Amino acid sequence: MTVRVLLVDDHAMLRAGLASVLGSDDEIEVVGEADDGAAAVVLARRTRPDVVLMDIEMPGVDGITAIARLAQALPQARALVLTTFDVDDYVLGALRAGAAGFLLKTTPPRDLIRAVKDCAIGGSALGPTVVKRLVASYVGQRPARVPQLEQLTERELEVLRVMARGLSNLEIAAELYLTENTVRTHVAHILRKLQVRDRVQAVILAHQARLA
């Protein structure tokens, strides 16, 4: 399987670096580059990427707006945000718009390639820093009722609670003494029952309901 990637950033040098890193892997193809959100949506419609690496702060249409538009126009394309947590105030907005996760612009090449591949098959780059921000955003709010949670089995609820902490399938498997394939199956059932398109949206629902 070749992962088709669209690069979106207003800095040409960064795009060139990302294209070089990703292009070094035989299973990844960079299918296009855009320097703002509006151009990204147009190009995504034409190139049909599996993964969109999206900057947030760009002139014209910003990354959060573009992610929301992509979620509507091309729901199969998954958006990974390129960010620096020290200065980026838009983490939650991007998550709610449909981002599948976050990568630091200083991410090592090997980790970048792995994150892109994981994202293409339904994984997410949702680290502890993002989870902490997500938790903090719901502190003081009344828990929301999420009827879909009632459809989950006890084991699926247990997996969701751990998943809501930002753990990967492998980490969930180690914590719950399950195989990674079993966790993957549980996650697929959770997404289907919650009627969400990826694990990030499932994590948001879990925190809204104060499940985690």
pLDDT digits (tens, 9 = 90+) for 116-153: 998 888 777 766 666 666 666 655 567 778 889 999 99
Q: What is the pLDDT of residue 7?
A: 97
Query: Could you tell me the domains of the chain?
Result: 3-125 (3.40.50.2300), 143-208 (1.10.10.10)
* CA gap 190, 184 in Å, rounded: 10
pLDDT tens digit sequence for 12-51:
999 999 999 999 999 999 999 999 999 999 999 999 999 9
* Residue with tokens 């499940």, as numbered in its chain: 211
pLDDT at 11: 93
Q: What contacts 24+ positions apart, CB below 8 Å, involve 186-194?
A: 186/155, 186/156, 186/159, 187/159, 187/163, 189/156, 190/152, 190/156, 190/159, 190/160, 190/163, 193/148, 193/151, 193/152, 193/156, 194/146, 194/148, 194/149, 194/152
